[in-house]
Amino acid sequence: MKPIQLVVALALGVGLVACSKQESQTPASTAQPAAENIQKQAEAAAPAAQSAVAATASQAQGLISKVQGYIADSKYSDAANVLKELSSMKLTPEQQKLVDDLTAQVQKAMAGAAASDASKKATDAVGGMLGK
């Protein structure tokens, strides 16, 4: 029985040595190529991401110009609609500040226009009651 025990012990020993070598080499040998692959993919995606950011910034700038045109033409409700669209976009800090300023300007102008309209209607009503 001793020769059988010796053979079994040798087989287990060889198996353990093979397993331990495999485990110690596998993570190290696969981690480096995986990391390099991820880095290559990130580098390949970077130009597309930069292009998308530039396109969004350009689109936002076009909408900001549109809002400024509407304000100049006293089309405050149209300006407010475009500002709502801009609020859902990812803006640069400079664009965000400009949009915030334009929003305040539109709100102030709309409030002023509403007050002026109400005053005119009240004046017309009083004038109509007095027979003018």
Higher pLDDT, 131 or 19: 131
Residue pair 83/67 in contact (Cβ under 8 Å)? The answer is yes
Examine the pLDDT at 16 and tell me if it is beyond 70. no
SS3 of the chain: CHHHHHHHHHHHHHHHHHHHHHHHHHHHHHHHHHHHHHHHHHHHHHHHHHHHHHHHHHHHHHHHHHHHHHHHCCCHHHHHHHHHHHHCCCCCHHHHHHHHHHHHHHHHHHHHHHHHHHHHHHHHHHHHHCCC
With CA atoms as reference, report the closest residue to 79 among 113, 32, 45.
Answer: 113
CA distance 33 to 89: 38
pLDDT in tens, 23-54: 555 556 667 777 787 877 777 777 776 776 67
pLDDT, position 40 = 78
pLDDT in tens, 47-95: 776 776 677 778 989 999 999 999 999 999 999 999 999 988 888 899 9
Amino acid identity of residue 127, one-letter, is G
pLDDT, position 104 = 94
Q: For the whole prediction, is pTM greater than 0.85?
A: no
pLDDT, position 130 = 65
